[in-house]
Amino acid sequence: MPNFLYFDGILKIVEDIDINPAEPGFLYGAGLFETIRVENGIPLFLEEHLKRLLSGSELLGWQTPDPNLLEQAVKTTLSANRVALGRVRLNLLLGSTGYHVLVTAQTGLPYSLEDYRRGYAACISKIRKNHHSPLSFLKTMNYLEYLLAWNEARSLGAQEALLLNLDGFLAEGSRTNVFIVRQGILFTPDLSSGPLPGLVRNRVLRLALRLGLKVEEKPLSPGELFDGEEAFLTNSLMEIMPLTYVDGRPIGTGEPGPITTRLSREYRKSKTAALLRPPV
């Protein structure tokens, strides 16, 4: 079965895509993107993803697409590729005039049950996050620093890299947000520390408050990771992943902790409303 993608209003196979490499979106990486988890053929929390993409477009002063067009592009691509469980990526690329919309879909998720059972190992990267950059809060295609950090982690046998900001505080992972649990309190770097305001990050913060957990967003030193009893990572595809080792040292017992487990369970329950909608 051919792999279809959506490009500027038309479903095509990859070989038939015509791209002008001199346009800003391709020449300079001038683009925004959203990676969306798909379950039962449904792009989860699509409205939130679209809101973030369109907000980023407005902040950059770009022409903003019709959200209905973007929603239909996502659903059309998913349907054409018959994705039941997997992910869809929505790309907004700056053109010489206007913009391009590119959507791709893929079956399967890059995480196993064993990953969640054991948790991830991470390293603290040599790459620093510039938390003063105006792009710090946007999900842009300027991703090379994150790729370098992730490659560094892989070379050390880790699954994720944690980036410090220019002041030496924790910012985020190369593709995740970071949480620490200490004495029953949930800590995560505040937005002034430079993390991307991830959608799952925001949902976890709201969920924790509903469960009666105390939450603190603040600058966090690398040492506070090792003072925690447990830690975890979040993004839209992995949702909540235990973080059990950093730089070869265990976080707490080196196993997924009870609060991480509870939040994961309750997060899965919170998806029920979205999954009860008719499939795409």
pTM exceeds 0.85, yes or no: yes
**What counts of helices (H) and strands (E) characterise the chain?**
9, 15
Query: Could you give the maximum distance between any two Cα atoms of the chain, in Å?
Result: 56
pLDDT at residue number 280: 44
Q: Are strands 160-165 and 120-129 parallel, antiparallel or unpaired?
A: parallel
| Planar angle of CA 276, 262, 224, nearest 5 degrees | 130
Contact (CB, 8 A) for 45 and 99:
no
Can you list the domains of the chain with their CATH numbers? 4-107 (3.30.470.10), 113-270 (3.20.10.10)
CA torsion angle for 14, 20, 22, 23 (degrees, to 10)? -90
The segments of the chain whose pLDDT lies below 50 read: 279-280
Q: What is the pLDDT of residues 111-169, one digit of tens each?
A: 999 999 999 999 999 999 999 999 999 999 989 999 999 999 999 999 999 999 999 99
pLDDT at residue number 77: 96
Report the C-alpha gap between 42 and 44 in whole angstroms: 6
Give the residue from 61, 74, 54 showing the smallest Cα distance to 6.
74
Q: Are strands 10-13 and 120-129 parallel, antiparallel or unpaired?
A: unpaired
